[in-house]
């Protein structure tokens, strides 16, 4: 995985929206490899670093889940 902005990574992991992720970062609640990050736009590679919010590790998914739904016509 390539480096992406931290707030985008948090949003993709389902932690919070990008705007809410920015607030988490600026309030000092996010750590990357044990170091508090407060700068917006910090780039991270989730495959290489550990990210935690409020002391809880963030789990990243490498794959997408797709659903296929069958809906007959007229319903």
Length of the chain measured in residues: 75
Q: What is the pLDDT of residue 54?
A: 95
For residue 36, report the phi and psi dihedrals to the nearest 5 degrees.
Answer: -65, 135
The DSSP result for 17-62, as a single string, is -HHHHHHHHHTT-EEETTEE---TT-EE-TTTS-EEETTEEPP--S
Which residues of the chain, if any, have pLDDT below 50?
none
pLDDT for position 1? 61
CATH number for region 4-57: 3.10.290.10
pLDDT for the residue numbered 17: 94
- State the pairing for strand pair 30-32/35-36: antiparallel
How far is it, in rounded angstroms, from Cα 7 to Cα 42? 8
Domains of the chain by residue range? 4-57
């Amino acid at each position: 995985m390539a480096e992406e902005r931290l707030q985008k990574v948090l949003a993709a992991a389902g932690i919070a929206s990008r705007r809410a992720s920015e607030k988490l970062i600026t309030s000092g609640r996010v750590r990357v490899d044990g170091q508090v990050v407060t700068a917006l736009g910090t780039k991270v590679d989730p495959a290489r670093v550990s990210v935690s919010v409020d002391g809880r590790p963030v789990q990243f998914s490498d794959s997408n889940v797709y659903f296929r739904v069958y809906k007959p016509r007229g319903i």
